[in-house]
Structure 1
Amino acid sequence: MGHTIFLVEDEAGIRQELSALLSRYGYRCVTTADFEDVAGQVCASGADLLLLDLNLPRYDGYHVCREVRRRSQMPIIVVTSRATELDELMSMNLGADDFLTKPYNTQILLARMARLLQRACPGVSPAVSRGGLTLDLGRGVAARNGVEVELTRNESRILQTLLAAEGRIVSRNALMEALWKSDAFVDDNTLTVNVARLRRRLEELGLSEVLATRRGQGYQLCL
């Protein structure tokens, strides 16, 4: 199991769904239904990253963000239905590292988490697997049936985002967002070139034609 994520979300359904998603992609997810001392629970958990909703009972997310940041330097991503610039500004001023508005694209959330975790904990990265294909982000390696190929950072980010989609089509915009969040220079041609290179790496693993182009929609990993 890779990094530990503390998820603060008061809606049980969302909490369970997101916790299950994170577990599938190599994270250990800690949650709470006790909102009396959230900041204390987060800091005591030893978590590597905090996913924080703003709309909470007892004390709101602003209070939690401020208290966690006062005691810890763990990355904080605010995930909220509040969509105003003021909410984002207040979150950042209180110490949040990123801000994502609900409903959000889970692929983009995973990419932003990976970016922050890579900076905060460069020695640990979860391995993501699907259909016999494993991506080790820490080593920048994709593997299948004992065969490994090295990937560039951009190729790794694209493959991670496609794996997180679980067979769904991923838009070009979502992939460009994932690359941009890894500090890469991105334009439309950059994405096309990197997808073509990733396709060749997958072919080296015996996975021909699994990375499909869906005209007008994006790309799909068919495993």
Structure 2
Amino acid sequence: MNANADPLEIQKFSELAHRWWDPTSEFRPLHDINPLRLEWINARAPLAGKNVIDIGCGGGILSESMARKGATVTGIDLSKKALRVADLHSLESGVPVRYKLIAAEEMAAQEAGGFDVVTCMEMLEHVPDPGGIVRAAAALAKPGGHVFFSTLNRNPKSYLHAVIGAEYVLRMLPRGTHDYDKFITPAELSQYVRSAGLQVESLRGLGYNPLTRLYSLNNDTSVNYLMACTRPL
């Protein structure tokens, strides 16, 4: 097991892996936000013909949707069960994705500079050293390549919405899905990004309306947010 991984986090998502592609399951939020994040990525880095890697791909929701856009996609994760589900769904859907059981840091050592687009979504808040993942993502990107992250801000509002609201009140997520202490502020992520040699290009918030049950991209980064970066030429 790579040092930059929490076995309990991997176990937690592995136990739910069989429900990954059920849009009414614990993974409903991922299904609901996927069109938004996909179009946001595609608008900044058109995916057709691109070589893409999805770090922390889980069951492959984003990986497969990027492949549908015409990208050649590699999805990596440390959950064997999640990758089995991803592989099976890829076979059933006929959308080819290369899945690998490998840590981001190891993948960066093997295929440095090999990807036009690197994505790492809803994953940084689940690892012991998010800065290490950012460095690996930067290493995987080609010069001039695009790197995309999404994670959770750390402040009282995000605790209220992402933990109390989502896990206890609305029950959108299983209790214990998130550890507030591992949330990352945009300033902290920006520092990781700059230290890894990347440039921040765009920052967007992801909002949820509990009345309409709809998500939207906006300028409020106080809870969920997405960051687009580039690796300089």
TM-score (norm 2): 0.36
